[in-house]
Amino acid sequence: MTDTLWQQLEVNTLLGSARATAVSDWPDALRGAVDSLPDRDGPRALLAQLALAMVWQRAGQTLPQSAAPDSAAPETHLRPLPAAARPWLQNALANDQQSFLPECLRAMAEHGFHPAATLLPDLLRLGESRKGWRLPLGQVAGARGVWLAAQNPEWRWLEGATFPLDADPGIRDRFWQDTAPAARELYLIRWRQQDPAAARDWLQQRWPDESATQRAQWLELCRHGLQADDAIWLESLLDDRSKQVREAALGLLARLDDSPWRQRLRERCAMLVNVKRGLLRKALEVTPPDALDPALQRDGLEPVTGGAQGLGEKAVWLRTIVAGAGCGWLLAHTGLDPENLLAAVAKTDWASPLQQGLAAAALTEGHAPMLLALLSPAGRKHRADDAPLLDALGAADREQALLDRVRHETKPGAGLQELNQLLARLTGWEWSEAFTRTLLGLLRPWLEHPSHEAQRMLLQGMGRQLAAHGHRRVAADPPPGTPPDMAAAWQGRHAFLTALEAG
């Protein structure tokens, strides 16, 4: 649609039918639709034309170059959404209930359904700004979604979510050259997930032709499907001229437990951190590095100017080496469990860099015992942010840690307020039935004696979280006293998922 036509429609609509007439100059692609409007010249003509123009613009903002899908191009593997599930999805989109949609998309992909064609533009528009939703959207968009994406440059990322992974190499090369960067990104993620070695080998062939920034971006995506076989390539990239590429390679090597890089840092750490045995207990003897040698610099350590996060140069180096050595190795090296290791760390002169290094290692490894120890009151002294550690835990450990946080607070409501803030920052997951019922119980006193603070917490925080992530058994039969809005949201979500399973 031309800007001139759209501006004319807006101006005429604002002036009203008494001062302006309907627009007559339409693109050929829309002329037939305009001629078929029931009220072409009456007082409602302007609004009807504006509605038509809005629908066309939402479906694809450039002129269509190909015919819309018809019976000659049916869906090959997706079924229409069951009738019982359609109203809930439409309502969720219309009322901006986007916290429900990731679960909705996963369930639709799992059961092999595609949304109604009228909802596709809204779903694809969400994918413009939410990169994490693009792969699941590609799994449910179907043939019509692919066609729509071809009409709107903002939606070309969908090509990467749907282009066949087993395409002929020549066809794949043309796709890679011609498609948008966002589509290449999705395609590479999918390929790494399915056949990481083949994707790596193919990417290496094109490596010299890419800019340093682009190479670093592709390297970041190789965390998908990361495996031990990647280590040799990643080690070679530590000598790349680009700092961006070197840092990306280091980030991936840190995820490989037996990589040569990790082994080298463990050898260094063994010289710096050791156990000194006393009469009653073990203590740590810590000797930070005095200077950097070329080998340490190749492994990612750099000169530090002005300190970093309140740490001096030697402390920063020590933190980096401990983080690279890893939690599992350090526990075995010292013979201490996580709680006793943190207690020994606290008694050294290097407590802050050691604990920060352990936290970084625990996050990288997903080391649940160390993560839980760091989240305890004794383990929180040298950190300000618990959300990343909680996010790295499995669902059961995360729920237990969150409930422990509430129980340790002595001031009424303080633990609930902190829990509300943490939940808003964590990646969503389906809560267990016990966790869902416990949070409802914690909220009940606030609901029975409402206040401004309680209403704000309920409606803007935990109430929304409960509605989006509460367990399905609780959602199917909300307990007495559950707020009506929350119960309605639960039951709608439950009906949607039940309809998908019934198929």
The confidence score (pLDDT) of residue 249 equals: 96
Say how many C-beta atoms besides its own lie within 10 A of residue 169's C-beta.
8
Q: Which residue has the tokens 């819309």?
A: 68
Q: What is the DSSP string of 276-325?
A: EE-SSSEEEEE---SS--HHHHHTT----SS-BTTB-HHHHHHHHHHHHH
Would you say residue 156 lies in a domain? yes
Would you say residue 32 lies in a domain? yes
129-136: long-range pairs with CB below 8 Å, 24+: 131/182, 132/102, 133/101, 133/102, 133/105, 134/158, 134/160, 134/161, 134/182, 134/186, 135/161, 135/186, 135/189, 135/190, 136/102, 136/105, 136/106, 136/109
| Alpha carbons 81 and 155: distance in angstroms, whole number | 22
Structural domains in the chain (count): 3
Would you say residue 463 lies in a domain? no
In angstroms, how far is the first alpha carbon of the chain from the final one? 39
Q: Beta strand pairing status for 79-80 and 113-114?
A: parallel
Asked if 371 and 307 sit in the same domain, the reply is yes
Choosing from 351, 385, 419, the residue where a domain stops is 385
Asked if 296 and 311 sit in the same domain, the reply is yes
Asked if 301 and 354 sit in the same domain, the reply is yes
Contact 252, 227 (CB under 8 A): no
Choosing from 230, 253, 276, the residue where a domain stops is 253
Asked if 312 and 340 sit in the same domain, the reply is yes
- Phi, psi torsion values for 275, nearest 5 degrees: -95, 135
Secondary structure in 3-state letters for 313-363: HHHHHHHHHHHHHCHHHHHHHHCCCHHHHHHHHHCCCCHHHHHHHHHHHHH
Instruction: Provide the CB-side half-sphere exposure for 186 (13 A, CA).
Output: 27
The confidence score (pLDDT) of residue 331 equals: 96
Would you say residue 249 lies in a domain? yes
Asked if 186 and 267 sit in the same domain, the reply is no
Would you say residue 464 lies in a domain? no
Contact 275, 335 (CB under 8 A): yes
Asked if 297 and 249 sit in the same domain, the reply is no
Asked if 132 and 182 sit in the same domain, the reply is yes
Contact 371, 362 (CB under 8 A): yes
Asked if 265 and 223 sit in the same domain, the reply is no
Polymer length in residues for the chain? 503
Asked if 275 and 377 sit in the same domain, the reply is yes
Mean pLDDT in each 10-residue stretch from start to end of the chain (503 residues)?
Answer: 60 62 67 69 69 67 47 61 87 71 86 89 89 90 88 91 90 90 94 95 90 93 95 95 95 93 96 83 90 93 73 92 96 94 93 94 95 86 82 95 82 75 87 92 76 62 80 83 80 85 82
Asked if 242 and 264 sit in the same domain, the reply is no
The confidence score (pLDDT) of residue 66 equals: 47
Would you say residue 50 lies in a domain? yes
Q: What is the DSSP string of 415-473?
A: HHHHHHHHHHHSPP-PPPHHHHHHHHHHHHHHHHS--HHHHHHIIIIIHHHHHHH--HH
Asked if 128 and 228 sit in the same domain, the reply is yes
Choosing from 366, 385, 404, the residue where a domain stops is 385
Contacts for 287 with CB less than 8 Å, ≥ 6 apart = 271, 272, 273
The confidence score (pLDDT) of residue 72 equals: 35
Contact 401, 393 (CB under 8 A): yes
Helix, strand or coil, per DSSP, at residue 80:
strand
| Alpha carbons 458 and 187: distance in angstroms, whole number | 41
Contacts for 40 with CB less than 8 Å, ≥ 6 apart = 22, 34
Determine the residue type at 54.
Answer: M
- Phi, psi torsion values for 367, nearest 5 degrees: -80, 100
Would you say residue 474 lies in a domain? no
Q: Between 414-425 and 433-448, two packed helices, what is the crossing angle to 10 degrees?
A: 130
Q: Is the pTM of this model over 0.85?
A: no
Would you say residue 11 lies in a domain? yes
The confidence score (pLDDT) of residue 10 equals: 66
- Phi, psi torsion values for 268, nearest 5 degrees: -65, -45
Structure-block tokens of residue 207: 């490596």
Say how many C-beta atoms besides its own lie within 10 A of residue 496's C-beta.
25
**Residue-number span of the structural domain to which 159 is assigned:** 119-253
Asked if 248 and 123 sit in the same domain, the reply is yes
The confidence score (pLDDT) of residue 282 equals: 81
- Phi, psi torsion values for 381, nearest 5 degrees: -65, -35
